[in-house]
Amino acid sequence: MQTGFYASAAGMVTQFNRLDTIANNLANVNTTGFKKESLITGDFARLYKEARDRLPIKNQTFEGASYINRAMSKVPHIVESYTDHSLGSLEKTGNRFDIALSDEGLFFAVETPQGLRLTRDGSFSLNDAGVLVTKEGYKVLPQNYQNDPDATIRFNAEDTTIEVDKNGQFYNLVPGSTQRIEGSKLFVTRVETIKYLQQEGSGLYIPDSADLLKPIDESGSVLQGYLEKSNVNPVTEMVAMIEANRLVGMYQKVMDSQMNDMNRDAIEKLAVTRR
């Protein structure tokens, strides 16, 4: 049995998974609020150091050495995937309904047909009814949403000057004066178990059911007229893509050697008859 062929094939599959993730990151390099996806490739040396005390047999024994030798034939494989929620760069747009969050772990809450979702994409706008919505038309939720499920952030046609403070509080300026009228407040929340967020697409995340989402009164992180860009570094991703492509080529050569060169050599030797 040619274990080298199967090991190379499995290693190639690992690199294909890396290429898919890298391609998705590069495709979203200009997507507002997008967070980079990463994969962790496991190898036996690292896994052994983490689990050596939980092995079924004792270390430093003949049986232990046999177990280790069998395990070392396993190839690298994807052991975990995670989302890098580090802050992306902030771009000034000047649009009054472009709103960014300058702190990691904070999210806006929006209402979708599938239920409450979280997002970092603050490129909001008003629909025909004057309600603040996302690019997909989902309602941006106000802070009092939990007490009033029908509550929305709504503006009138005569509201020409709209401001948002650093805590997400909207204010309308009375025309012809400096008086400010307090309006709705954005539902800004911090996710404690951020690693359990599930990406749903379109910049939306599904919160963990065990995470109690509470609005933050004073986040101090809301910036009006700004958008958070993707945290993907295109140069780093291109280098990673080149590396993965080279590894695929190397695994392919190993597979070719296993199936052709070694088989040919074995056939030629076995075909020789001795008298």
Q: Give me the residues of the chain with pLDDT under 70, please.
A: 1-4, 43-75, 157, 174-178, 261-275
Tokens linked to 6: 């199967």
At residue 266, the pLDDT reads 63
At residue 1, the pLDDT reads 47
Q: Which long-range contacts (CB under 8 A, 24 or more apart) does 52-59 make?
A: none
CB 30 within 8 A of CB 78: no
pTM of the model: 0.76
At residue 213, the pLDDT reads 87
Q: How far apart are CA 167 and CA 162, in angstroms?
A: 15
Spans of all domains in the chain: 3-85+232-271, 90-228
At residue 59, the pLDDT reads 52
At residue 56, the pLDDT reads 55
Tokens linked to 80: 């975990």
| Three-state secondary-structure class, residue 169 | strand
